[in-house]
Amino acid sequence: MVAAMVNVSGKRRTTAASELSAIYANRGDIKRITDIKLGTAGNNKTAVGYDNVTGVGVPAGVDFDADPAQAATSP
């Protein structure tokens, strides 16, 4: 999932670092990324925030990688 998110955000960004920075900066914005808080994968369990099962979560829309300044002001 993260690889797909980075690939999509690559259309807006020129480096992997800037792509990942945008994704991680938006991880607390529920309009952008949904945190998965309940579930398991083998011995790994999901948790609030980053975890080994779902990473930062799943995209909640197409603007998951918007610049954080835009994310704060967009409807």
Cβ-based neighbour number of residue 25 at 10 Å: 16
Cα(1)–Cα(58) distance, integer angstroms: 7
> Higher confidence at residue 57 or residue 4?
57
Q: Give the start-to-end residue ranges of the domains of the chain.
A: 2-73
Percentage of the chain modeled with pLDDT above 90: 15
> Higher confidence at residue 68 or residue 58?
58
User: Mind listing the pLDDT tens digit for each residue in 49-62?
Assistant: 889 888 888 888 77
Does the CA dihedral 53-49-1-23 come out positive or negative? negative
Taking the complete model, does pTM exceed 0.95, yes or no? no
Across the chain, where does the E strand assignment appear? 33-34, 40-41, 44-45, 58-59
